[in-house]
Each structure stands twice: as C-alpha cells, then as structure tokens.
Amino acid sequence: MSNIVAIVGRPNVGKSTFFNRLIQRREAIVDAVSGVTRDRHYGKSDWNGKEFSLIDTGGYVLGSDDVFEAEIDKQVELAIDEADAIIFMVDVENGVTGMDEDVANLLRKVSKPVFLVVNKVDNAKRSEDAVEFYSLGLGEYYNIASINGSGTGDLLDALVEALPEKEEVVEEELPRFAVVGRPNAGKSSFINALIGEDRYIVTDIAGTTRDSIDTKYNRFGFEFNLVDTAGIRRKAKVKEDLEFYSVMRSVRAIEHADVCLLVLDATRGFDGQVQNIFWLAERNRKGIVILVNKWDLVEKDHKSMKAYEKAIRKQIEPFIDVPIIFISVLSKQRIFKAIETAVEVYKNRSKKIKTSQLNDVLLPIIESYPPPAYKAKFVKIKYIMQLPTPQPQFAFFCNLPQYVKDPYKRFLENKLREHFDFTGVPISVYMRKK
C-alpha cells in the first residue's frame, strides 16, 4: 500500500507546476493521469526508494471569492480526510493572503504531517520575504522554486521521512475484487444486489481504507473480498467534488485489488473519467472487467450491444482483451455473470505457464515471424520464461534486446493471448540479453 500525498492551496501558487516537475524529473514515476476531474492530477512517484501517490487538488476559478472560498475549503477537507501527508503551497510573491489563513486554520487541527511550502523563492530577497509565513502557525517551511526545481530535493527528503510505514494487511490473503467507477454509476446498488440475494455472505470486515468496506463473499465455490468504493461516509461534504473524491477512493482501491470491476452508466457512456479509472487499473497491472450498468434504460435494437462494445474497445486500444458485460442492477440481469467473469480474470492473472510449454508454442512462431532487422542486424530470440510475479510478465532472451521495438512486443503479447487465456489481464513483455 502506498501513501497518498495531497498538494493543497489557493490557485496560481504553482501547485500544478510543482506536480509536473516531479513527474518529469523522477525516473521512477509510474504514471500521471490528468483531466480526471477538471484540472485534477494523479501521479505515482518514488523518492529515495519510497513510493507514494501524489494528488494535485488544483483550484477553481469561479465568479466570486465567496464561492471560491467555499470550494477550496471543501477541497482541503477532502484532502485532509484521504491523504497521509499534506503539502500546503503558498506564494512568496503575494505573501500571506486571507485564503492562505483559511487553509492554515484547517490544517492546524490535523495530526497528519503538514509541509508548508513557499513557492517562487528564487533569490535571496525572496528568501527573506518568506519569513512572514511563520505567521500561519504551521512551524518550519520549505522554500522552493517549482519552475526550476530549486529546493524540492530537501522537501522530498523530509516528506518521505515523515510518511507512515504502510503495513500490508495479510488477514487471510483472500483475493480482492474492487468495484470502481464514477459516482452514480450503480456501484453500491451492484453490491447490495449481490448481498441481498446471495446467502453465502460470511461477515463484514472494516476496510483498510476508510471509504471502502470489504465483504467476504463466496460464489461459484470461490471465496474473495468484495470491496465497495461507493462513498459510504459523509456524502453531504462531497457535493460538486464527487469526481475528485471518487478518484481518491479509486486510487486506493485499485492499488490493493487483484481484479477491478469497472462499473459505468450506459446512459452516460465510456466517458473521460471512466477511461482514466480504466487506465489507472491497467497501469497498476490489475485484472479488469467492464460492467455496463443501466442497460435496461438504453433504447436499443439487436445491433446496439455490439456497437456499444465496439466503441468501448476502440477507446481502450491496444488493451482490448477485456470482458465487457451488460448488466442491470435494478433487475439483477447478469450480475452473477459479472462475478463469475471476475473469478475467471483473477485465475488468468495468477496463471503460470510452464517454461517448456512457452518455448514449444512461441519459438516456432518467432522463427516464422522474427523481429525486423535493425541497421542490418538480426535479432534472434532464443528462450522465453514467465517471471515469478503476481501478474503475468514474460522475459524473452535474445542477442540484441535494444533493437526490439514496441510493435513487435505487441505482436508477442497478442500471440501469448492467442495461445494462453489472459483475458482481462495486462501482460508485460520484457526483452533480456541472452
């Protein structure tokens, strides 16, 4: 489980610039997704060997200061609830503002690590000016210039030192199926429909994150934890920022899941936010099942389902080997088919292929369709093995791994999928020096 660090503050203090600089400068960054909700950003980063998730809460530019202050307070409160540490960014050019004081008033009440960061400090004069931020009552501060990265190393050293150690929960090592998606897609209703009809529920367990509930569930002779991320707590606080809140919950749920059941509203389609949650799951190498809910509300003919499915697969290229199931939680249509499919995807994700079988199947194909020559040099793949990792990863040993390009790796992945069932599971292909 990685820690979550939230960057908060009023607009135009350089939060996004700071976030983007971290994404660009760290080789260990896994991914960055922008545009999830307005100008929200999510990134996964590593500093000094410690991994953490970074949330840029952004800032609204609304018509009046009064409306804005209500929105920024809401953003900060959400960040405080979800984050393990908070970076509070202010701007030395403008000095201490009323909005800075409002945010500081909220942060002084929390017991989590708070890092006061004074941005745009790029000369000695501004370093002296930054002293006034002691008046916010948050103790020591860090001077940085996000535009050129000055001071960020010291800040990140202190940040990772203060992050709490995350213990892996090893209660029963049951598989975890997370139900994720944007608000109002039917996630809670889906789980309630399962729980209400099935009599194999054993017990409810408090989740490892405060907004998920794990339900131990037994179906098709297979026991697993079903994780609800549907926003159980303090809904009144969320209001217009449901998107931001749901992404933070989804980030945690996806990181801990084995399989993600991505629920979308058929009347809204596979929109930008749903796509971003899909790619978060894919980049975290989780099994994925797409559930198109409220299918009963869509006007359709005999071709509608195929057309809808084709449109989704177009959006998720090149990872199109994903089950798509059309359900109606209201009528309980295909909800158990969804669980049965998730179990199959979990088994695919944990599947191990014998080395001898891999080589017997794939080496003749590779011999018939070898990698393209590069600079008159020929790549010869000699040996294949599956790596001992929780998700499918394969090493292809060859003489010139640096000359094997992505199109050929996708060819190898397609052949793996063609001969061994990895439906719903991202596959990693690595070229290694023989």
pLDDT in tens, 102-131: 888 888 888 889 999 999 988 888 888 899
**pTM for this predicted structure:** 0.59
Report, as an integer, the average pLDDT of 234-252. Answer: 50
**Domain check: are 44 and 123 in the same one?**
yes
pLDDT category at 167 given cuts 50, 70, 90 is low
More confident residue, 402 or 216: 402
**Domain check: are 302 and 325 in the same one?**
yes
Chosen domain end from 299, 322, 350: 350
**Binding-site annotation, residues:** 9-16, 56-60, 119-122, 181-188, 228-232, 293-296
Q: How many domains does the chain have?
A: 3
> What pLDDT shows up at residue 105?
85
Mean predicted lDDT score pLDDT of the chain: 77
Report the C-alpha gap between 310 and 257 in whole angstroms.
27
Which CATH number goes with the domain that contains 372?
A: 3.30.300.20
**Domain check: are 143 and 32 in the same one?**
yes
Identify whether 338 is part of a domain.
Answer: yes
Q: Is 50 exceeded by the pLDDT of residue 81?
A: yes
Which CATH number goes with the domain that contains 334?
A: 3.40.50.300
Chosen domain end from 350, 384, 408: 350
**Domain check: are 86 and 20 in the same one?**
yes
Chosen domain end from 308, 329, 350: 350
**Binding-site annotation, residues for GTP:** 9-16, 56-60, 119-122, 181-188, 228-232, 293-296
**Domain check: are 180 and 239 in the same one?**
yes
Q: Is 60 exceeded by the pLDDT of residue 193?
A: yes
**Domain check: are 198 and 251 in the same one?**
yes
Structural domain range at position 217: 176-350
**Domain check: are 242 and 361 in the same one?**
no
Identify whether 402 is part of a domain.
Answer: yes
Identify whether 376 is part of a domain.
Answer: yes
pLDDT category at 34 given cuts 50, 70, 90 is very low
Identify whether 168 is part of a domain.
Answer: no
